[in-house]
Amino acid sequence: MRRFLVGLLALAAAPVAHAAVVVVANFTPAEVTVTVTEPDRPKQMVTLAPAQVAPVTVAGPALLILPATPQHLSFHIDPYNAYVILPDPQTGRRLEGVELPGMPPERDARPELNPVPRDVRKVPVTLFVDEIDPRADDLWQGLLRKRLTDASAVIEAHCGVKFEVAGFAKWSSDAQASTVPELLADFQQKTKAPPGGLAVGYTSRKVEEKPKEPAPFGGSRAAPAAHVLMREWVPRSEPERTEALVHHLGRALGAVPVPDQGSVMRERLGDGLALHAQYKMRFDPLNALALNIWADEARSGKLLTAADVSPAGRARLRRVYGALLKARPGDPSALVYLNEFDRDLVQAPPKKDEPKKEPDPPPPPKVDAPRDVIARVVLSAVTTKARTSATPGGPTGDDLTVAYVRAAATAALAAEVEKATPDDRVGGFLLGLAVALDDTDALRADEVTREQVAGIESASVRDERREVLGNPTVRGRRDLCRRFAAGVGTGELLPRQAAEAAAVGRTFAAAENARPAGVGLPALAADLAGLEFARQPRDDLARLTELASLRSLAALVPEVGDLPDALSAERFAARYGSATDPRFLAALTELRRRVRAPVKP
């Protein structure tokens, strides 16, 4: 009996686990019914119309059966992933998974035993118009209620979130505001959203328009947002206005712009697509997946800011936004989320009742070589640059990496270190930059380089740097920036042959853990480019002077978009074999040729 009671208490204390979700899209011209089966659970029959994108509730990994000829096809599907049904000339149709970078949380690999159903999440909405709206209350309230209801139906079908009108009000918009961001800020300041809900405002004020940059139809902050502002009277037709509302409600829930021209999250709305009789408003698979993850986080408890997202939710969202950024390189909306979710690597602050942590002891004298002293100066300069760049309008993506390279080179040139030679300054620049961009501790974790970087940065300084680093990228990708940094570090610390072996080793280690993100040659190319960058001539300071005014990363890392990427472990092994396979050696030779072109900042 005692064990029974202990078991009951443990169950009562266990966190509530909601059912998981996968997103399936039908991009074939005909209706398709798929079957989803899981151990010890009833099978699901899911019918998808052409161009329909829908969530499917699962308890964990499952099997999807797709009707095809001459026989049905079976596919393993994982929770919190997106899958697309496409036409196939041989079988009629096929299923493809949307590649997500990084590794999923470990809990997604096993089913939940008793998951709580994913109920519809109801969100109360107060609808506002500003005081210059000319319509009578009954007229604008009826019209906006219907518009919200129609928009809500689209969002509910994709992620189970339903918006319900909780009230109407007017707000006095700022007559001096002339842009959507200004009006949104004014709306946020003057209005309150209902508890746990959303304030949606409409303004009739004239907004500044540019010939080649028309003003957006609305605006909102990143999720979880409490305010959405829309411009009334644009676009011209009611279906397009509803679509614009779906777009901005989606943004408030975590969606970002995409190149998919059939998605409501395409960048340019009001293009007439919503007027076509056959058009059905839909989100693209990746944004639908992001919306579902955010909705799950909201169902699980209090969600006021992105900092409230659970560790598992952060890992899932980081993968989705990484894939969205790859689809639209440099997208600032996706980078905002990646910047936020990369911060979970920062060590949590001590609790109030914990003793204050003693400061780290100074580095031992044996590492105080001129190169290492300059590396510390470079690290400090990059951290300072990161802190000043973390403001609205600051550099992001590749531009942020360029800013860090320039700050590092400038610091290496200016460092007052006695008896420092040009070789010391270039070496300190390289080592400091590599450690500064290494937010995953790759150099510290490697037994070959661990001891050489141990004295460069204390734990407290490292925590501060990683907290403000942001999301620097190379060729629009965060993973390429990390691999470039690893190449720079090993290129500075190891002989060429050993450094190249380390780069190859990182690639095959990634291949062993490729499921489901995949692996490819772009990351190896970035690694080798970092190695080559570290091996450039260093007998004078002309190179550092050029890097201090660097404008682009294009000359440092070659174009990698044409290289095979996102291969599963099985496909990578089938294509390249091992590190000594002639096929891989041929690919490695081509990558060497590609990265050894003359490098000029």
Mean confidence (pLDDT) of the chain: 88
User: Does 8 score more than 50 pLDDT?
Assistant: no
- Residue 392 confidence (pLDDT) above 90: no
> In terms of pLDDT, which residue wins out, 9 or 575?
575
Average pLDDT over residues 238-264: 97
Q: Where does the pLDDT of residue 345 fall: very low under 50, low under 70, confident under 90, or very high at 90 and above?
A: very low
pLDDT digits (tens, 9 = 90+) for 64-90: 999 999 999 999 999 999 999 999 999
Beta bridge partners of 25: 53, 84
Range 353-375 average pLDDT: 64
pLDDT at 93: 95
Residue 23 pLDDT exceeds 80: yes
Give yes or no for residue 382 having a pLDDT over 70. Answer: yes
pLDDT at 518: 65
Is 63's pLDDT higher than 50?
Answer: yes
Residues 519-548 have a mean pLDDT of: 89
CB 34 within 8 A of CB 24: yes
DSSP string computed for 283-298: --HHHHHHHHHHHHHH
Residue 592 scores a pLDDT above 80: yes
Query: What is residue 533's predicted lDDT score, i.e. its pLDDT?
Result: 92
Q: Is the pLDDT of residue 14 over 60?
A: no
Q: What tens digit of pLDDT does each residue of 495-526 get?
A: 888 889 889 988 888 776 654 456 889 999 99
For residue 358, name the pLDDT band (cuts at 50, 70, 90): low
Neighbouring residues of 512: CB distance < 8 A, sequence distance ≥ 6:
569
Res. 543 pLDDT band, cuts 50 70 90: confident
Percent of the chain with pLDDT over 70: 91
Q: What's residue 9's pLDDT?
A: 43
Q: Is-contact 237 220, C-beta < 8 A?
A: no
The yes-or-no verdict on residue 7 having pLDDT over 70 is no
pLDDT digits (tens, 9 = 90+) for 167-208: 999 999 999 998 998 999 899 999 999 999 999 999 999 998
Would residue 488 be called left, alpha or beta, if left means φ above 0 and alpha means ψ between -120 and 50 degrees? alpha
**pLDDT the model gives residue 597:** 67
pTM: 0.60
pLDDT tier at 147 (50, 70, 90 boundaries)? Answer: very high
Higher pLDDT, 450 or 14: 450
What average pLDDT does this structure show over 116-132?
95
The pLDDT confidence band at residue 347, using thresholds 50, 70 and 90, is very low
Report residue 16's pLDDT band, with 50, 70 and 90 as the boundaries: low
Q: In terms of DSSP bridges, do strands 82-88 and 198-203 run parallel, antiparallel, or are they unpaired?
A: unpaired
- The pLDDT-based confidence of 6 (bands split at 50, 70, 90) is very low
374 contact partners, CB below 8 Å, separation of at least 6: 411, 412, 415, 417, 420, 424, 425, 427, 428, 429, 432
Q: What is the pLDDT of residue 46?
A: 98
pLDDT at 563 over 90: yes
> For residue 343, what pLDDT is reported?
54
* Torsion angle of the four alpha carbons 98, 100, 105, 109, in this order, in degrees rounded to the nearest 10: 30
**Per-residue pLDDT, 357:** 53
pLDDT at position 359 over 70: no
- Look at residue 446 in the predicted model and tell me its pLDDT: 78
Predicted confidence (pLDDT) at residue 364 exceeds the cutoff of 90: no
- Confidence band (pLDDT; 50, 70, 90) for 449? confident
* Cα separation of the two ends of the chain: 74
Query: What are the contacts of 417-422 at 24+ separation with CB within 8 A?
Result: 417/370, 417/373, 417/374, 417/377, 418/370, 419/370, 420/370, 420/373, 420/374, 421/370, 422/538, 422/539, 422/540, 422/541
pLDDT grade for 337, boundaries at 50, 70 and 90: confident
HSE-up of 28 (CA within 13 Å, CB side)? 24
47-52: list long-range contacts, CB under 8 Å, 24+ apart. Answer: 48/24, 48/85, 49/280, 50/26, 51/26, 51/27, 51/262, 51/280, 51/282, 52/25, 52/26, 52/280, 52/282
Range with the lowest mean pLDDT among 66-80, 232-246, 444-458, 582-596?
444-458
Domains in the chain with CATH codes: 18-109 (2.60.40.2890), 121-338 (3.40.390.10), 365-595 (no CATH)
pLDDT at 142 over 60: yes
Instruction: Tell me which range, 70-74, 300-304, 593-597, is most confidently predicted by mean pLDDT.
Output: 70-74
What's the pLDDT band for 151 if we cut at 50, 70, 90? very high
User: HSE of 8 in the Cβ direction (CA atoms, 13 Å)?
Assistant: 5
